[in-house]
Amino acid sequence: MATWSSRGLRGSTLEELINRTCQQYREKRLALIQKVPTPITPVRIDQSSRHITLAYFDQKSTVDYIGAVQGIPVCFDAKECNSDNFPLQNIHAHQVEFMKDFEAQEGIAFLILYFAHRDKIYYMPFEQMYGFWQRGQNGGLKHFKYSELAPQWFLKRTGSVMVPFLEGIQMDLEKREGDLEKKKN
């Protein structure tokens, strides 16, 4: 069973940047996105500092963030990677199912990937993530490569917004509208 101390600080940089971005979006009344707390049970507590030093996860969490952007429900998970190959084992089956169900309810689900060694942030629409996931489940590669990613989905930092995921959501919505138009014709 995974424990708190075995995870280290993996992903904490990205989450801090996203938390700051969510705060900015909220202050500007552009979006209301909340970090979903991971339920834990403390096992060991340092009495002098009152910090949890060892804990286990009570249950599987859904995704890292959930909320609304201009009335559109959104959910996403944040993942950090230090190489050009992203292991699909970092995306859990229960997260994929939750995101799939969220999309079925007309919400927008996506991943925010931070390639730390390149200092690049990628917005991965659910459809793309699910394609890689299915490939891995059907005997294909159990990872995807940086070189497989579509350049237009890399987010460009502008001003004080560190993880401008609203731009990714806008592109995602435009792509979905375009796909609907193609189906009609």
How far, in Å, CA of 79 to CA of 144, rounded?
13
Confirm or deny that 62 is annotated as ligand binding: yes
Angle between helices 93-104 and 126-137 (to 10 degrees): 140
Q: Are strands 85-87 and 51-57 parallel, antiparallel or unpaired?
A: unpaired
How far, in Å, CA of 157 to CA of 164, rounded?
6
The SS3 call for residue 178 is helix
Closest CA relative to residue 76, chosen from 106, 102, 110, 103: 110
What is the 3-state composition of the chain as percent helix, strand, coil, each rounded to the nearest 5? Answer: 40, 30, 30
Confirm or deny that 58 is annotated as ligand binding: no
Confirm or deny that 77 is annotated as ligand binding: yes
Confirm or deny that 179 is annotated as ligand binding: no
Pick out the residues of the known binding site: 62, 64, 77, 95
Pick out the residues of the known binding site for Mg(2+): 62, 64, 77, 95
